[in-house]
Amino acid sequence: MTIVFTGGGSGGHFYPIIAIAEAIRKQVADQRLVAPKLYYIAPSIFDEQALFSEEIIFIKSPAGKLRRYPSLWNMTDLFVTASGVIWSLFMLFKLYPDVVVSKGGYASVPTVLAAHILRIPIVVHESDAKPGRANLLASKYATSIAVAFESAASYFPKEAQSKVARTGIPVRKELFQVAAEGASQELGLEPGIPTVFILGGSLGSKRINETVLSALPSLLDFANVIHQTGPKHIKEVEATAKVILEKDAHKARYHALGYLSVLSLRRAAGAATLVVARAGSTTITEISLWKKPAILIPIPETISHDQKTNAYAYARTGAAVVIEEQNLTPHILASEARRIATDPVLASAMAEKGASFADPDAAKLLAEEVLRIALSHEEKPA
pLDDT in tens, 150-160: 888 889 988 88
Position 380 confidence tier, pLDDT thresholds 50, 70, 90:
low
pLDDT category at 113 given cuts 50, 70, 90 is very high
- C-alpha–C-alpha distance, residues 237 and 207, integer Å: 12
Distance of CA 43 to the CA centre of its chain: 18
Look at residue 348 and give its three-state secondary structure. Answer: helix
The tens digit of pLDDT for each residue in 85-105 reads: 999 999 999 999 999 999 988
Residue range 312-334, pLDDT digits in tens: 989 999 999 999 999 999 999 99
At residue 77, the pLDDT reads 62
Q: How far apart are CA 336 and CA 328, in angstroms?
A: 11
Dmax of the chain from CA atoms?
74
Structural domains of the chain, with CATH: 2-171+361-379 (3.40.50.2000), 174-354 (3.40.50.2000)
Share of residues in the chain with pLDDT > 70 (%): 92
Per-chain mean pLDDT for the chain: 88
- CA distance linking residue 320 with residue 291, whole number of Å: 11
- Say which residues have a Cβ less than 8 Å from residue 216's Cβ, sequence separation at least 6: 225, 241, 244, 245, 248, 254
Report the pLDDT value the prediction gives residue 203, as an integer from 0 to 100: 59
More confident residue, 9 or 35: 35
Q: Is the pLDDT of residue 305 over 70?
A: no
pLDDT at 68 over 70: no
Which residues, listed in sequence order, are joined to residue 153 by a DSSP beta bridge? Answer: none
Residues 274-295: tens digit of each pLDDT? 999 998 888 999 999 999 999 9
Question: What per-residue confidence (pLDDT) applies to 304?
Answer: 67
Long-range contacts of 82-88 (CB under 8 A, 24+ apart): 84/109, 84/110, 84/111, 85/109, 85/110, 85/113, 85/114, 87/61, 87/62, 88/41, 88/61, 88/113, 88/114, 88/115
Q: Is 282 helix (H, G, I), strand (E, B) or coil?
A: helix
Q: Any idea which of 128-142, 177-191, 319-333 has the lowest mean pLDDT?
A: 177-191
Instruction: Provide the phi-psi class of 216: left if phi over 0, else alpha when psi is between -120 and 50, else beta.
Output: alpha
The residues near 65 (Cβ < 8 Å, ≥ 6 apart) are 9, 73, 77, 106
